Chains A and B, each alone.
Chain A
Amino acid sequence: MNKIPLVCVLSVLAACSNNPSTRVEDREINARVRIPASQDSAGVQVYSLQNPAVKQLTAQARDAEREGDLGRASSYLERALGIQPRDPQLLQHMAEIKLQNGDYQQALSFAVRSYDIGPRVGEICSRNWRTISVAKEHLQDSHGADDAASRALQCMNIRPQGL
């Protein structure tokens, strides 16, 4: 019985030290960005062509991300962006890493850039807007977050420019 208050105190302390309210867990990324975006992706899909070097770095970034080493993941992606700086998938992946790292301003920036130069349709578009939505939510911009969430739903309907 005596242990219960101690456990509570420790949990509270642990919660404070981890500051979960300012970090996006990888579960949240999957639940709020990646999975719904892939479920949305029934329509037109446009993916950039990646060269093998970029694919290799992306795979390494994914491994690092799975291991929870977001710094290394970010560094691999930055190298990949050095090779293909205008690859919307790389930019979006970086946005998701920044989101998990609690760097919401940068998550927002990378997702917006990915959308700007990306296909603006399909799964990548949905991931762009869902990331923007989560980032804005954490940046206390609830109106912007709602707006971005509704833009994510339009990614399947809007005809991309040039198509």
Chain B
Amino acid sequence: MAIKTKSKVKKTRVKKTSPVPRKRQRKPTPRKKSGWLRRSLRLLLLLLGLGIGLGAPWVIWLDKQVRTEFDGRKWDIPSRVYARPLSLYTGKPISIQSLVLELNATGYRQVQSAAMPGSYARNGNHIDINRRAFIFDDGVESAVIFRLHISENKILSMSSPPGGRDPGLLRLDPAEIASIYPLHDEDRTLVALTDVPEMLVTGLQAVEDRQFKHHRGVVLRSIARALLTNIKAGKTVQGGSTLTQQLVKNYFLSSERTMVRKGNEAIMAFLLEWHYDKARILEAYINEIFLGQQGKRAIHGFGRAAEFYFGRPLQNLEAEHFALLIGMVRGASFYNPRRNPQRAMQRRNRVLDIFGTTGLMSENEVKIAKTRPLGVIDDPPPASSRYPAFMDMVRRQLKRDYRSDDLSNEGLKIFTTLAPSEQEFAQQAVSGGLDQLQQRGLPADLQGALVMAETASGEVRALVGDRVAGRRGFNRALDARRQIGSVIKPLVYLLALEHSGDYTLVTPIRDEPITLRQASGEIWSPVNYDHKSHGELPLMDALVHSYNQAAVQVGLKIGVNNLIRKVRQLGVEAKIPAVPATLLGAVELTPVEVAQMYQSLAAGGYSVPLRSVTAVLTQQGRLLSRYPLRMLPLDHREAVALLNFALVRVIEQGTARSLHALLGNNSLIAGKTGTTNERRDSWFVGYTRDRVAVSWVGRDDNRPAGVTGGNAAMRVWAEFFRHLPVSGVDLGLPDGASYVWVNVPQNALTDPSCPDAVQIPFVNGTEPQAKTRCLVRLSRKNRK
């Protein structure tokens, strides 16, 4: 551009100088002068006519472009997806490790003194947190500084300000876990001019365009000055563009440097100023200007740049941060503070000097600001989610209510249920757990999945769909449809216990060989895992030891169709074959479906749909939809309570009895292992009072993998729960059931002081009628 400008200047000079010698040669007569004037006038009129004739339509066309684009301009704003906000209160069970993981996931910086929002300082068991202001799904909360004292995995005390009163309840702003981007890959967080800090508004003008308030889009003097400087330098070293011209360039034009484009830019800038006020132009500029690149995604506007570089909203930036961003307007790549920190620092300090000379900051403030580091966070918010498997679930839930265009263009705020620390532990348990299994001689190509939800709310806190963290692709938690084996058995026994007149936990069941002819004509003779039959035994023990023949005996009596109905009732809609093998888990379900099925049991007979999204807000914070907790009580909740009692025994005495040792915790846990034919699949479903989790291990191609419920999936589950607070399962009984002292082998009532007395829950009226001799003797004695 500089060269072309030069040649043009030369030509003009030639034209201007050519008449001079003629003037010296002849003295012009008045008549001749008037002829010359007339000719010049004619030429001028001709040029004017040509100008109007050709230029006016061009300007009109540009004007139309400017107005159409600017009026109709609607930025496509990506939706932001947030984790659940972490609630903090005195007494909350949480380890320092979990809290630090949560703070890091939320982009908090560890510092010496938590003076700035978005930072924390740790001193032994005390953590000071300067919580950022945030628009939560139920309202705005301003920044707050508080101190936590954590000991023995619990918040012992909380004070705000540190050392002050207990604020009762606080929550961290949630981690941004993903964005849903528009197709053109522009990333932007829209800010209204009224929300833009004054320092940015004035600082930007001080550095880029001091005449902004007064000019009409173009400042000819600046252009001329820039032109002169560029000519002198022989290259482009100074831009004479106003903010309006820069906006026009970003908005309407390509970045090619030609005179025509420059001319268009000036005309359009003038037209923009003609039609729109300064505030609107400045707001558009602040949201449009290019400030960085993240992979294939362009960072536009100061709002997103603040989050991208400093991990905080624009409103929470300090002077030196504004200086850096304003400095980057000149060249976002050239002054990229992550790649070229020294260059960025020099530029920032230069801008700070301008802040000083223009009176925006005092000399002393500039001096202090210059000593500060760039303050750029190491990990920008993820360009694509760190948790792709969980995001699959979020997308599927949102798809029911939102069009994909709305999700990627409208800047929605999506609040999810993910707990970043628990997700981290879950992924570590799968990745690390499978590595360990490999070391123990299991195949190297094992894959795994893990789903964990809160029992009462159905909120999914962690979801792992691949052995490798962050890997996209096949999501085993949602899509791996595998036989579930013995994981189905509790439902067989639940149905039996619902027929309380026929079955109690101590009803004798026969575990003996059974042969069935299937619809295909094939003969089916199920065997037990140990290839033995165990004869008559109490229903509870048949479940605890997961005997196949006993389960088939009971299942045939209750009916396969009833079992299928029960699975549906528990929220699973998958296709299930109505064949006897279904009784032993020849049913293909996904881990998330299994989690849904067991949620109702873990919650004591209350079915709650698993949720990954709790609320959706507009960009401005207006609530669009809320997905509240909804529950449905199942019939026969007393049977569920009985079943839970038996499932605790699975861990205490049954197929999962090594769990406590793996976990290093003796709390009451209920669970069930599952293994499929030829050891292809390993399942473990376990629940504490507050959390239900399903773990699956197997091979993608369904080849035998040498895994059993106990040797693989349960280990992964235990590794996960070792990092979580574990509260024992509540074995309280609902209305209609009571604990009774019985002698199980005799199937008779007894007294706690008698031999072999155990307390077992029964549906009222179904207790054994018989009494042990010991009880009879004691009763007589008491009567006497």
Contact = CB atoms under 8 A, between A and B. Distances in A.
A105 B628 CA distance: 14
Contacts of A76: 138
Contacts of A105: 632
Interface in A71-101: 71-72, 74-76, 78-79, 81-83, 85-86
Interface in A39-64: 51-53, 55-57
A95 B10 CA distance: 86
Given A51-B91, A81-B457, A83-B87, A116 B629 contact: no
Given A109-B606, A116-B735, A75 B137 contact: yes
Nearest to A71: B626
A56 B632 CA distance: 27
Interface string B14-47: 0000000000000000000000000000000000
Contacts of B637: 116
B740 to A, nearest CB: 13
A109 B632 contact: yes
Interface string A24-40: 00000000000000000
Mostly, the A contact residues are: helix
Interface string B432-465: 0000000000000000000000111101000000
B138 A85 contact: no
B456 A53 contact: no
A152 to B, nearest CB: 14
A134 interface: no
B169 A53 contact: yes
Mostly, the B contact residues are: loop
Contacts of A81: 456-457, 629
A66 B630 CA distance: 23
B690 interface: yes
B765 interface: no
B457 A109 contact: no
A128 to B, nearest CB: 11
Contact of A75 (B89, B90, B626, B632): B626
A55 B91 CA distance: 14
Nearest to B171: A79
A77 to B, nearest CB: 9
Interface stretch (B109-117, B205-213, B726-734): B726-734
B635 to A, nearest CB: 11
A109 B631 contact: yes
A116 B89 contact: no
B738 interface: yes
A109 B735 CA distance: 15
A106 B89 contact: no
A109 to B, nearest CB: 5
Nearest to A83: B87
A112 interface: yes
A162 B735 CA distance: 12
Given A82-B457, A86-B456, A117-B732, A161 B631 contact: no
Contacts of A52: 89-90, 166, 168-169
A120 interface: yes
Most buried by B among A71, A74, A82, A116: A116
A42 B637 CA distance: 30
A112 B168 contact: no
A115 interface: yes
Contacts of A113: 606, 631, 633
Interface string A100-132: 000001100110110111001000000000000
Contact of B456 (A74, A75, A85, A116): A85
Contacts of B633: 109, 112-113, 116
Contacts of B292: none
Contacts of A75: 137-138, 626, 628
Given A85-B690, A161-B733, 11 more contacts: A51-B91, A52-B169, A53-B91, A75-B137, A78-B628, A82-B459, A83-B92, A85-B457, A115-B735, A116-B633, A117-B730
22 contacts: A51-B90, A52-B168, A53-B87, A53-B89, A53-B92, A55-B168, A57-B169, A71-B623, A71-B626, A75-B137, A75-B138, A76-B138, A81-B456, A83-B92, A85-B690, A86-B456, A109-B606, A109-B632, A116-B735, A117-B604, A117-B732, A120-B735
Nearest 6 pairs of A and B residues by beta carbon: A53-B89, A85-B456, A53-B169, A56-B168, A116-B734, A52-B168
